Amino acid sequence: MKGPTVVKTEKQKIRLDKYLWSIRVFKTRSQATEAIDKGRVKMKGENVKASRNVVVGDEYEARTEHKNWVIRVTQVLESRMAYAEAIKYYEDLTPIEELERVRQVAATFQTGKRLSKIGRPTKKDRRDLGELLD
């Protein structure tokens, strides 16, 4: 048997650290709190506190390890959910230059494996090449 369903009104209150964690800007809530405390999250160029209540329409600049986010709150999200759902609760206003920088970094990331069909020829390739030259 399930308990009673709680319906939230439009005036939900949620802390900034919890919101940033919920929309998946940070992996953990403690990382979000630490970033806010260290001044990596700003609103209108000013440092904010982790306990600040998020309001629809607020714009935040959040600096993470990989990306400098600029987001606008479109809806308040109280609990963490799948990425596909979480992206509906904010608008990503990150400048195009920053997105290109992130793509370039991701493109140069090395996994240690050679790309298929690039580099040293396989044994079969060497045989075929030998037959061609003979």
Q: Worst-scoring range by mean pLDDT, 7-11, 97-101, 106-110?
A: 7-11
pLDDT value at residue 130 = 86
pLDDT band at 56 (very low <50, low <70, confident <90, very high): very high
pLDDT value at residue 11 = 63
Cα dihedral 15→16→17→22 (10° resolution): 90
pLDDT value at residue 126 = 86
Question: Residue range 60-75: average pLDDT?
Answer: 91
C-alpha to C-alpha distance for 110 and 130, rounded to whole angstroms: 33
Looking at every residue in the chain, the average pLDDT score rounds to 83
Q: How is the chain split into domains, by residue range?
A: 16-106
Question: Residue range 64-91: average pLDDT?
Answer: 90
pLDDT digits (tens, 9 = 90+) for 1-30: 454 433 344 567 899 999 999 999 999 999
User: What is the residue type of 86?
Assistant: A
pLDDT value at residue 34 = 95
> What's the first-to-final CA gap in the chain, in angstroms?
80
C-alpha to C-alpha distance for 120 and 129, rounded to whole angstroms: 13
Q: Could you tell me where the DSSP H helices lie in the chain?
A: 16-22, 29-37, 83-86, 96-107, 123-133
pLDDT digits (tens, 9 = 90+) for 116-129: 666 777 888 889 88
The superfamily in CATH containing domain 16-106 is RNA-binding S4 domain (3.10.290.10)
Question: Residue range 50-68: average pLDDT?
Answer: 92
